Amino acid sequence: MSEKEVCDECGGTIFRNVNDSILKRRYTFVTDTNLKMCEDCGAKYITCKNCGALLTRVHLSLDVYGVRSKCRSCGNDDPEVAAWIKRGGG
pLDDT tens digits, one per residue of 73-88: 999 999 999 999 999 9
Residue 53, helix vs strand vs coil: coil
Contact 63, 52 (CB under 8 A): no
Question: Which amino acid belongs to residue 21?
Answer: S
pLDDT at 63: 87
Q: What is the mean pLDDT of residues 21-39?
A: 95
Contacts (Cβ under 8 Å, ≥6 apart) of 86 = none
Residues 6 or more apart from 11 whose CB is under 8 A from it? Answer: 40
**Cβ count near 75 (within 10 Å):** 10
Q: Determine the pLDDT at residue 22.
A: 95
Residue 48 has pLDDT above 70, yes or no: yes
